[in-house]
Amino acid sequence: MKQYDAVVIGAGAAGLFCAAQLGQGGKSVLVLDNGKKIGRKILMSGGGFCNFTNLEVGSNHYLSQNRHFVKSALSRYTNWDFISLVVSYGITYHEKELGQLFCDEGAQQIVEMLETECEKGGVEILLRQAVGNIQKNAKFFEIQTACEQFQTENLVIATGGLSMPALGASPFGYKIAEQFGISVIPPRASLVPFTWKESDKVFSNLSGVSLPITASTRHKSFSNQMLFTHRGLSGPAILQISNYWEMGDMVEIDLLPNENLIDVLQELRQSSPKLQLKTVLSRYLPKKLVELWLAQKMLNDQVIAQLSNADLQYLEQLIHRWQFLPNGTEGYRTAEVTKGGVDTDFISSKTMEAKNVQGLYFIGEVLDVTGWLGGYNFQWAWSSAFACAEGILNKR
């Protein structure tokens, strides 16, 4: 039976980064993954350009049952620390919007950087290794794959959540947690598009139409682009608000967040009463959206002069306070992350070690930590991995 100082299960962002830190710190490290290649989710992220962190990172950008849990790790390995590593490899990057940093040449650069970092530490990586059984005796964890057995004092679970099952996502990490008496907050798809109710499917005719909006639910609001799709609503603003949405919640959408429609229409009612309502609204909103919506409300041929004050109030609510009730979400298939996961009450925020099982660690998305859209989930991967490695390296 081969023995290592640490075994990391999961060759994604958190697992590779943790393994590299441990290896370079002098530990013998094995990484196991059931996939054909390392960093599969990294390669898919950010449209293939990997939104690897954000210029502004704070605990307020994360959701968890314990909102203070992320603070320690984020403060000890910051976004600037990872940016420095990226720069040291000559990887050029750009800010897209809202502090989001992307590789100029592609996500493969981040994967290659992590692979090189692992090589520097002498990390052994074994792929296509489905872990079957894990047991713990007084000192060691014993890990059984289809054809080999491994032994370690430090077992790191970096298997991610349930999002993007096509890339090999599974509940493995949650099952290990439960095996060792650690609770799991029920997982669900997050940073995910909404789907139409039957009564709203007429809007699928607007597929491809995009516009800036403000979406709100549960006292949280996000302003960014929204995209109509065949299945429902997507785009950055919708993905962000999905983090806070619960089934049955209404989402309020302001389709014209930078204008006051009432003021515009009242002024035009005086100055240009013969203007068609459709013409006016098309100055501010996509024409296809205006035509569909006004046809639905039988206002398509109205001129401004015909609008009563009640009509103005109705239009104001329609445009600025559209009450959208999602049928649900597109689920894990298209979700960027998983909300919920290993309960952080059972985990040390300083080292990521299970409080009740010495030598067992959980890092990255497998934990009940969900970041906003925009590089925050990758930063959590780097920060939690570093905290874990530091904890193992500092063990007496």
Q: Are 222 and 241 in contact (CB under 8 A)?
A: yes
What pLDDT does residue 125 have? 99
Residue pLDDT, tens place only, 44-63? 999 999 999 999 999 999 99
Residues above pLDDT 90, as percent of the chain: 89
Confidence of residue 333 (pLDDT cuts 50, 70, 90): very high
Stretch 200-221: mean pLDDT:
96
3-class secondary structure for the chain? CEEEEEEEECCCHHHHHHHHHHHHCCCCEEEECCCCCCCHHHHHHHHHCCEEEECCCCHHHEECCCCCCCHHHHHHCCHHHHHHHHHHCCCCEEECCCCEEEECCCCHHHHHHHHHHHHHCCCEEECCCCEEEEEECCCCEEEEECCCEEEEEEEEECCCCCCCHHHCCCCHHHHHHHHCCCCEEEEEEECCCEECCHHHHHHHHHCCCEEEEEEEECCEEEEEEEEECCCEEECHHHHHHHCCCCCCCCEEEECCCCCCHHHHHHHHHHHCCCCEHHHHHCCCCCHHHHHHHHHHCCCCCCEHHHCCHHHHHHHHHHHHCEEECCCEECCCCCCCEEEEEECHHHECCCCCEECCCCCEEECHHHECCEECCCCHHHHHHHHHHHHHHHHHHCCC
Stretch 73-94: mean pLDDT:
99
The answer, yes or no, to whether residue 357 has pLDDT greater than 80, is yes
Residue pLDDT, tens place only, 7-50? 999 999 999 999 999 999 999 999 999 999 999 999 999 999 99
The answer, yes or no, to whether residue 396 has pLDDT greater than 80, is no
Confidence of residue 105 (pLDDT cuts 50, 70, 90): very high
What pLDDT does residue 33 have? 97
What pLDDT does residue 326 have? 98
What pLDDT does residue 360 have? 99
Stretch 124-133: mean pLDDT:
96
What pLDDT does residue 36 have? 95
Mean pLDDT score of the chain = 96
| Euclidean distance between CA atoms 174 and 367, whole angstroms | 9
What pLDDT does residue 293 have? 85
Confidence of residue 262 (pLDDT cuts 50, 70, 90): confident
What pLDDT does residue 147 have? 86
Q: pTM of the predicted model, to two decimals?
A: 0.96
What pLDDT does residue 308 have? 86
Stretch 97-101: mean pLDDT:
96
Stretch 226-240: mean pLDDT:
98
Q: Between residues 239 and 312, which one has the greater pLDDT? A: 239
What pLDDT does residue 273 have? 87
Residue pLDDT, tens place only, 269-320? 889 988 999 999 999 999 999 999 888 877 777 888 888 888 888 889 999 9
Domains of the chain in sequence order: 2-189+338-393 (3.50.50.60), 193-330 (2.40.30.10)
For tokens 């996509």, name the residue. 286
The answer, yes or no, to whether residue 353 has pLDDT greater than 80, is yes
What pLDDT does residue 296 have? 80
The answer, yes or no, to whether residue 243 has pLDDT greater than 80, is yes
Cβ-in-10-Å burial (0-12, 13-18, 19+) of 132 comes to: exposed
